[in-house]
Structure 1
Amino acid sequence: MLKKLFITLLVGFLSLNLYAQTTNSWIRINQLGYLPNNKKVAVWVSKETNTVKHFELRNALTNQVVYSNNAGKAFGEYGPFKKGYRFDFSKFKGSGKFYLQADDGTRSPNFNINANVYDGAADFALRYMRQQRTLFNPFLQDSCHTHDGFTMYASSVGMPDSTRVEVAGGWHDASDYLQYATTSANATYHLLAAYRDFPNVFTDHKQSNGLDGKNGIPDVLDEAKWGLDWLLKMHPTPNIMYNQIADDRDHTRLRMPGQDSLYGRGHERPVYFIDGNPQQRGKFLNNTTGTSSTAAKFVSAFGLGFQLFQAQDQNYAAVLKEKAGTAYQYAHIKPGVTQTVSVKSPYIYAEDNWVDDMELAEATLFQLNQDPKHLEKALNYARQESITPWILRDTANHYQYYPFINLGHYELVKSADKKARKEALKYYKQGIEQVWNRAKENMFYRGVPFIWCSNNLTTSFAIQCIWYREQSQDKQFEELEQANIDWLFGLNPWGTSMVYGLPSGSDTPVDPHSAFTYLHNYPIDGGLVDGPVYSNIYKNLIGIKLNNPDEYAEFQSDLVVYHDDFGDYSTNEPTMDGTASLIYLLSAKENESKKKE
């Protein structure tokens, strides 16, 4: 009897001891899952200084150990954690459902390893793009913003302020209802490039209006054409181009998109003309210096659209090619950057670079006509901004360096010119090395700064890594590449995916900064939220107040915060252009899995 009592007490003591060891330790995983032949890493983190020496990968159905390995290098303090390890199980090539367990008893959630973990993910994210549509919105099955709009700053082309123009269409930019040509053109380009590069990934389940029903066109092309059609309206004639619809007066009250009446003209909204000069920004002017940044984005979207649509609609393709030419001329009216306009608040898209946009425009035109002058001009622009500035500075203002990836370098790599290819790959590698030098110091391999929209930067950087690896066959940054993808799907301090509803049944955003969810509990499937920001940024933003207790409170730190709360527009608001970039990334991963089957 005493022996049994001793054993019982011993087991109880060991259980309590094990619990004490593991309550402040977690194993973060990619909740979407891992491809069998790719890098597979999880991260063990702890708020204590305890040590682990090895881990096991176990079958989730049988609890059988299928692989074990040493814990590897210990990483020091990062964010809320005092210690961490990267558990590498890449050598295991099997498929199934598994979990990881460390020798301190810490256990991960279950996760999948198989060739299908990315299947349908890109199409899933397209749901958010359709939900962001203006004019007819297929999610609401109703129309909105049908009266846009009236001009501002267009008197130089014979249109006094408040002249009526017809520019309805396109996508809402984020959870507000502003529309920006610069983000829309970039989003359109990413959708077109996703189909160009990975056509077998996408399906056809929707009509062109976004409602159910096949129309013989992959849904991603339907969505890209929605963007192109709006860009055509925003550049109706060679001497007219608009930069945005609406402004921050949009933020006056929470409402659904069909309820706009905020600008003193009924349901019409202001449409800002691109004149290359500073325009209103509350009490101040923005820092616009020219016409190039937005106009060049039009060139690349129209040019790639021409390439993809010429086989199925020659008339439409011809219009796109013509508009690419006139947009190119518009970009040269006044070399420089076009920033957005704000009336009441200090927040704008303060884009500060434009030579990367011109590089992409020149590379796109070279693809259209093979004129070597365009290739040489593209290379000259590439040399002026060989590395996207946020990578070098490890910081930036809001959308200061946009797009967050130099798309022109990739088009130069694809140009088949050996000189251009070698030079562009060198620039990509130099940028990746800059991030790696920061990332290798922490257990998450985090080298992307926590500025506003950090998830967009993370997505873009992962794409840059993929392009470099595939085009150079250099795999030395493969784990860094995968770490950035894993981060988006839960391998981060908070253990949450940053994509609404993906993967299903996992920890994903449920309370985003969105009127759709806040007012009506409508899901915003596929939306990529802004992502974590430095704590000092969060503390200094206007009007942020959490509406509910913070479920991630124990994982916040003086370094960085993320909140799944409607009140935090800085970390939990989805963006249209970020989601479009994510669609490219997910289509690349799904295509990769199909090649390895």
Structure 2
Amino acid sequence: MYGIKNAIVLSLSVSLILSMTSCALQKSETDSQATATQSTSAATTGVNQTVEQLVSENIHVNQIGYFSSDKKIAVINGQYSSFNVVDATNNKVVLTKNLDGKVKDDSSGDTVCYADFSEITSAGQYYISIPELGKSYTFKIGDKSIYTGIADGMLKALYLQRCGIELDSNHAGEYTHGACHKSMAKIYGSDDKEIDVSGGWHDAGDYGRYVVPAAVTAADLLMAYEFYPNSFTDNTNIPESSNNIPDILDEAKYGIDWMLKMQDKLSGGVYHKVTAMGFPDMTLMPDIDVDDMYVMPISTTATADFAAVTAMAARIYKDINSGFSNSCLNASLKAWTWLENNSKFVEFKNPSDILTGEYGDNSGSDEIAWAAAELFRTTGEKKYGDYFVKNFHSNGFGLGWQNVSGYAAIAYMFCDSDKIDLKKSEEIRKSWIEKADMFVDTAKKDGYFLAMHKLEYTWGSNMNVANHAKHLLVADRLSNNEEYTETAKNAAHYLMGRNTLSQCYITGFGSKQVMQPHHRPSLGDTVKQPVPGLVVGGPNSTLDDSVSKSKLSGLAPAKCYIDDMSSYGTNEVATYWNSPAIFVFGYLNQQR
């Protein structure tokens, strides 16, 4: 990934399926839906035969669908009087209602109205029709299984990002490649010292592997399992499937196993990243990338994030894989010792001849607080709790790679130790709820019901969308509130197409699909469709690449997206954009 690792992700205090067979089924279904949007049977009842035969991208729906019992609203760009809900199997109108509202949306510049069809609860396929405008893409109404494919697809996409192993056709379908980046890596600045750091995930559209974002990715997976264990199965067709361990834990372990290799065995410090000196050509497949790999120096942020996520793993795998749990705890304690012995912040900056992502930071205070909170929650040892209470401040609750204070807060608030500082816990809880309320207020003012301020459409804005939803779902655990869950659901609707561009932002899904992600395997292989299940960055009003500058200049923030492989500022992918969306869909699928 190009600039995201060098940029600060703004966050104001004011997102493949069970198997490649099912992927083919999803593609077939999508194709049939797309065909249905091009023509309507002459047997259509009560529907205009001209304008209404045409799909209008000004009718914005969740292109996957809605739960039968949930609130179901389409957002219409423009002012019209009434709408129809049409059964897509026979083109018969099943509901006619007036459109509501006249709302100016600051983020998109749209003036919108709303089609509320919540009373439709019968399972089936439908579309919205407006006589003067056209019809929407087709969507489903159904039970709690309607998001199973997309949720499993996002998790399966992490398997397809794995480094160091062959992706075979039994598990990867068409998206195969040989084992990659298996050679020993050179420790940068040493006298030709080499170590084995094979494994992990290709972080984004490039082939670098970085501890800081990998720790956040793994933490999201572990937290999703802790919150919604019934949402995750053992049958997403990865190599570890059918081992009686949920595949989400197998995937997290794959990432953590690599991180364990990144720890210096002598000091306990953790190397920041392993990459080549620069980015490979865009069409180069990972197993063809044979440039020398370099391990970059130890940093405070990498070591602290490592200590935090391995402490989490020690707790979560204790009764699942005791050997792995013990290894993680020992590694976490050793990393903490390094932090104690290196109290002065050790910053990572790219050397002048290294051009790959930096993931830099100017402070490690939030990372160390996260490590302390997780070690306290796992071990109950007073010294970690004391450090946390003394050094943690409730001032923003970041849930991204550069600010991990939200992870620290969650670890402490949900700690069941009798040694917890109740005053500190209540202080954090109150601040967390206040921010959740702010997100709800923001969503109420947004034309698309989204908890996003227009200034938050920056690099990786879809991460902001998913992380805000994650914050709201944690708040719901703290203070049961339907407004929190409804606002989180609206984030999912946005990612699945109910947005100003009618764009489904998850590859391989929806009617209007992302086809040209900034993702080397998707460009370098011979498969027409991109690797499925990847959440792309989304609208980015800072226009960080030349394509954005030339094609999107002057557009409203929420419209600053283009499906172009060269637009790394809007259309790249990242594991830590998938992981918070996996958490959100874990909530949606908890009754699967």
Query: Shorter-chain TM-score: which interval?
Result: 0.7 to 0.9
Out of 156, 173, 178, the residue aligned to residue 142 of structure 1 is 178
Partners of 1:568 and 1:362 in 2: CA distance: 39
1:256 maps onto 2:285 in alignment: yes
- Return the letter of the residue paired with 1:322: N
Partners of 1:135 and 1:508 in 2: CA distance: 29
Deviation per residue, 1:549-591 (Å, 9 max, x gap): x8xx899657641111212111111112211222222222101
Partners of 2:486 and 2:567 in 1: CA distance: 31
Contact 2:157 2:534 in 1 (8 A): yes
**Residue matched to 2:25:** none
1:124 maps onto 2:124 in alignment: no
Deviation per residue, 1:456-479 (Å, 9 max, x gap): 121111111111123311223444
- Aligned in 2, Cα 1:382/1:167: closer, same or farther, shift over 3 Å? same
Out of 188, 191, 202, the residue aligned to residue 152 of structure 1 is 188
Structure 1 counterpart SS, 2:113: strand
Superposed displacement of residue 438, structure 1: 4.2
Structure 2 counterpart SS, 1:582: helix
Partners of 1:73 and 1:440 in 2: CA distance: 13
Contact 2:536 2:572 in 1 (8 A): yes
Aligned residue pair count? 526
**Residue matched to 2:476:** 469
**Residue matched to 1:246:** 275
**Residue matched to 1:60:** 88
Q: Which moved more, 1:343-352 or 1:101-110?
A: 343-352
Structure 1 counterpart SS, 2:59: strand
Contact 2:48 2:131 in 1 (8 A): no
**Residue matched to 1:355:** 365
- Aligned in 2, Cα 1:322/1:492: closer, same or farther, shift over 3 Å? same
Structure 2 counterpart SS, 1:508: coil
Partners of 2:386 and 2:86 in 1: CA distance: 55
Structure 1 counterpart SS, 2:279: helix
**Residue matched to 2:540:** 533
Superposed displacement of residue 373, structure 1: 4.4
Deviation per residue, 1:416-474 (Å, 9 max, x gap): 46645533332223323444454443311341511111111211111111111233112
Deviation per residue, 1:306-349 (Å, 9 max, x gap): 12322243232211111111112223423547446264659642
- Aligned in 2, Cα 1:457/1:324: closer, same or farther, shift over 3 Å? same
Partners of 1:68 and 1:555 in 2: CA distance: 38
- Aligned in 2, Cα 1:136/1:473: closer, same or farther, shift over 3 Å? same
Superposed displacement of residue 161, structure 1: 4.7
Out of 214, 227, 245, the residue aligned to residue 217 of structure 1 is 245
Partners of 2:375 and 2:220 in 1: CA distance: 17
1:444 maps onto 2:448 in alignment: yes
**Residue matched to 1:281:** none
- Aligned in 2, Cα 1:113/1:15: closer, same or farther, shift over 3 Å? closer
**Residue matched to 2:303:** 295
- Return the letter of the residue paired with 2:333: G
Calculate percent identity across the aligned residue pairs.
Answer: 23
1:171-320 superposed matches below 5 A = 171-205=201-235, 210-211=238-239, 214-239=242-267, 240-247=269-276, 249-251=278-280, 254-262=283-291, 268-274=292-298, 276=299, 291=300, 293-320=301-328
1:13-32 superposed matches below 5 A = 19=51, 26-32=58-64
Contact 2:56 2:135 in 1 (8 A): no
**Residue matched to 1:7:** none
Contact 2:124 2:140 in 1 (8 A): yes
1:102-113 superposed matches below 5 A = 102=130, 104-113=132-141
Q: Which moved more, 1:131-140 or 1:28-37?
A: 131-140
Contact 2:197 2:258 in 1 (8 A): yes
Out of 76, 96, 100, the residue aligned to residue 124 of structure 2 is 96
1:334 maps onto 2:343 in alignment: yes
Structure 2 counterpart SS, 1:570: helix
Structure 2 counterpart SS, 1:177: coil
Superposed displacement of residue 529, structure 1: 0.9
Structure 2 counterpart SS, 1:329: helix
Partners of 2:431 and 2:122 in 1: CA distance: 36
Superposed displacement of residue 128, structure 1: 1.5
Partners of 1:338 and 1:134 in 2: CA distance: 26
- Aligned in 2, Cα 1:62/1:229: closer, same or farther, shift over 3 Å? same
- Return the letter of the residue paired with 1:476: E
Superposed displacement of residue 66, structure 1: 4.7
**Residue matched to 1:285:** none
Partners of 1:69 and 1:353 in 2: CA distance: 55
- Aligned in 2, Cα 1:297/1:80: closer, same or farther, shift over 3 Å? closer
Deviation per residue, 1:13-36 (Å, 9 max, x gap): x979x8499998721111121122
Partners of 1:369 and 1:567 in 2: CA distance: 47
**Residue matched to 2:42:** none
- The answer for unaligned runs of 5 or more in structure 2 is 1-46
Contact 2:105 2:448 in 1 (8 A): no
- Aligned in 2, Cα 1:423/1:172: closer, same or farther, shift over 3 Å? same
1:431 maps onto 2:435 in alignment: yes
Superposed displacement of residue 217, structure 1: 2.7
Structure 1 counterpart SS, 2:522: helix
Partners of 2:383 and 2:70 in 1: CA distance: 41
Superposed displacement of residue 304, structure 1: 1.8
Partners of 1:554 and 1:183 in 2: CA distance: 30
Out of 505, 509, 513, the residue aligned to residue 508 of structure 1 is 513
**Residue matched to 1:265:** none
Contact 1:355 1:385 in 2 (8 A): no
- Aligned in 2, Cα 1:452/1:303: closer, same or farther, shift over 3 Å? same
Structure 2 counterpart SS, 1:407: helix
The structure having more radius of gyration, on CA atoms, is 1
- The answer for unaligned runs of 5 or more in structure 1 is 1-13, 154-159, 263-267, 277-290, 391-398
**Residue matched to 1:324:** 332
- Return the letter of the residue paired with 2:227: D
**Residue matched to 2:402:** 401
Structure 1 counterpart SS, 2:76: strand
Structure 1 counterpart SS, 2:65: coil
Contact 1:459 1:582 in 2 (8 A): yes
Contact 2:52 2:131 in 1 (8 A): no
Partners of 2:276 and 2:304 in 1: CA distance: 22
- Return the letter of the residue paired with 2:427: E
Q: Which moved more, 1:238-247 or 1:563-572?
A: 238-247
1:86 maps onto 2:114 in alignment: yes
- Aligned in 2, Cα 1:425/1:315: closer, same or farther, shift over 3 Å? same
Contact 1:351 1:402 in 2 (8 A): no
Structure 2 counterpart SS, 1:99: strand
- Aligned in 2, Cα 1:382/1:45: closer, same or farther, shift over 3 Å? farther
Partners of 1:346 and 1:308 in 2: CA distance: 33
- Return the letter of the residue paired with 2:312: L
Contact 1:545 1:568 in 2 (8 A): no
- Aligned in 2, Cα 1:15/1:94: closer, same or farther, shift over 3 Å? closer
- Aligned in 2, Cα 1:60/1:335: closer, same or farther, shift over 3 Å? farther
Superposed displacement of residue 97, structure 1: 2.2
Partners of 1:247 and 1:435 in 2: CA distance: 40
- Aligned in 2, Cα 1:40/1:329: closer, same or farther, shift over 3 Å? farther
Structure 2 counterpart SS, 1:74: strand
Structure 2 counterpart SS, 1:144: coil
- Aligned in 2, Cα 1:474/1:165: closer, same or farther, shift over 3 Å? same
Deviation per residue, 1:513-570 (Å, 9 max, x gap): 1222222244412111111110xx22x5358799xxx8xx899657641111212111
